[in-house]
Amino acid sequence: MPVLTFMNTCFFDNGVLERLPKVLGRSGASKPFIITDPGIKAVGILDRVLEALQAEPAGIFSDTVANPTEDQVIEVTDLYKQAGADSIIALGGGSSMDLSKAVGLLASHGGPLEKYAAMSDGSKHIKKLPPVIAIPTTAGTGSEVSVGMIVTMNNGRKETFASPNLIPPIAICDPELTLGLPKMMTAATGMDAVTHCIEAVLVPSSNPPAEGIGYDGLTRAIRDGWLRRAVADGSDLEARWNMMMASYEGALAFVKGLGSVHALSHAAGRLHEKKLHHGTLNAIFLPHLLRFNDGAADKKYERLRFAMGLAEGADLADAIERLNDEIGIPQTLKEIGLEASDGPGIVENALADLAHAGNAREATQADYEKIYETALG
């Protein structure tokens, strides 16, 4: 069983969920509050975690919404405090992880939440949180090892929060928990991991270790074929193991930063009534930003081609579009419910997003308007 110690300590292997009681004890906690979502509860994964825990949790919240909101953070923080909990088990995908981190932050630091936002230099106010044990059930966000979290604020912005203190100190990555993931969710979360790897590589800042990890995650997902295999056969445990590793590596890589794909996806994801999936948004925007960035990082494009198993000089954007089509990702934003009228707000918020500054080539308002119009279809 690999025990990986990079940003945190990650117990990574099939069946490693059984280590949960020891892991909880290692964190010095005894009254965990579980935060998860309705889907995880419905398919029985919450029951598996409760069985592995071998004790009653201090409380359970299983109604996490996609793209968690500031109001929900406040609500669940109150429940956490009322339960007398001393730790959080974050169970699910990126939304449950983000909500868990936000609850830990608000419960230990006090509000308002906006005080800690990265764009207003709030990271300096984020100190140690209650122990968070992260148990991912998708292979995409890598939130179990990420320095960040995303919350849709009451002012309408989708805000990024970033600090080493937001990294869960312990993660349990058990690929068996992803075996029941539907085909479309496998594809969308897998493309989230792919986008993390590609964008982290292309960010101009220098971090060779993170960049190298990004190339390996991309190789694992695409050239080695594990994403296609996981989508084609959800019971392929070897594919599930490798995609969970690619997801983990994507988050290790994006400590370097992210770019305009994420700026646009965050801006679109703030439209809560649309219920848009972050990984799907990334997958649709990615080819368009690869075309926009072409020529800004030629040597990195060469290495990306190699990592993806493409021929010399192959078009990266075309390759991603073919992959999206093969695994069932919609080709246009219109197909997932976005409209031309959504464009101005998305462009405005993308320009204000933290990831905007990390793009390989500087993007203007006019650039984003054109990219959005093209991606809309």
pLDDT score of 4: 61
Alpha helix stretches (DSSP H) within the chain: 20-26, 38-42, 45-53, 70-82, 94-109, 183-202, 208-218, 226-232, 237-253, 260-269, 278-293, 298-308, 316-327, 343-351, 365-376
Burial class (CB in 10 A: 0-12, 13-18, 19+), 273: exposed
Residue in the structure block whose two tokens are 């021929």: 311
Q: What is the pLDDT of residue 58?
A: 97
- The strand pairing partners of 61, in sequence order, are 35
Query: What is the structure's pLDDT at 181?
Result: 92
Give the residue among 287, 281, 279 at the shortest CA–CA distance from 304.
Answer: 287
Q: How much is the pTM? A: 0.94
pLDDT tens, N- to C-terminus, the chain (377 residues): 666 667 899 999 999 999 999 999 888 889 999 999 999 999 999 999 999 999 999 999 999 998 899 999 999 999 999 999 999 999 999 999 999 999 999 999 999 999 999 888 898 999 999 999 999 999 999 999 999 999 999 988 888 999 999 999 999 999 999 998 999 999 999 999 999 999 999 999 999 999 999 999 999 999 999 999 999 999 999 999 999 999 999 999 999 999 999 999 999 999 988 989 999 999 999 999 999 999 999 999 999 999 999 999 999 999 999 999 999 999 999 999 999 999 999 999 999 999 999 999 999 999 999 999 999 99
* Pair 293, 153 in one domain: no
Do 201 and 74 share a structural domain?
A: no
- Do 268 and 346 touch, CB atoms closer than 8 A? yes
Same domain, 172 and 229: no
Rounded to whole angstroms, the Cα distance separating 34 from 13 reads 22
Question: CATH number for the domain including 202?
Answer: 1.20.1090.10
How much of the chain is in helix, strand and coil states, percent to nearest 5?
60, 10, 30
Shared domain check, 328 and 215: yes
Using CA of residue 190, residue 277, residue 121, residue 167, what is the dihedral sign?
negative
CATH number at residue 132: 3.40.50.1970
From CA 254, how far away is CA 259, in angstroms rounded? 10
End-to-end CA distance of the chain: 46
Neighbouring-strand partners of residue 148: 162
Domain that holds residue 96: 3-177
Query: Of the residues 177, 210, 231, which one is the last residue of a structural domain?
Result: 177
Same-domain check for residues 92 and 196: no
Same-domain check for residues 162 and 258: no
What pLDDT sits at residue 67?
A: 86
Q: At what angle do helices 183-202 and 237-253 cross, to 10 degrees?
A: 30
pLDDT at res. 5: 64
Domain identity same for 172 and 250:
no
Around Cβ 5, how many Cβ atoms within 10 Å?
Answer: 7
Q: Note the pLDDT of residue 150.
A: 92
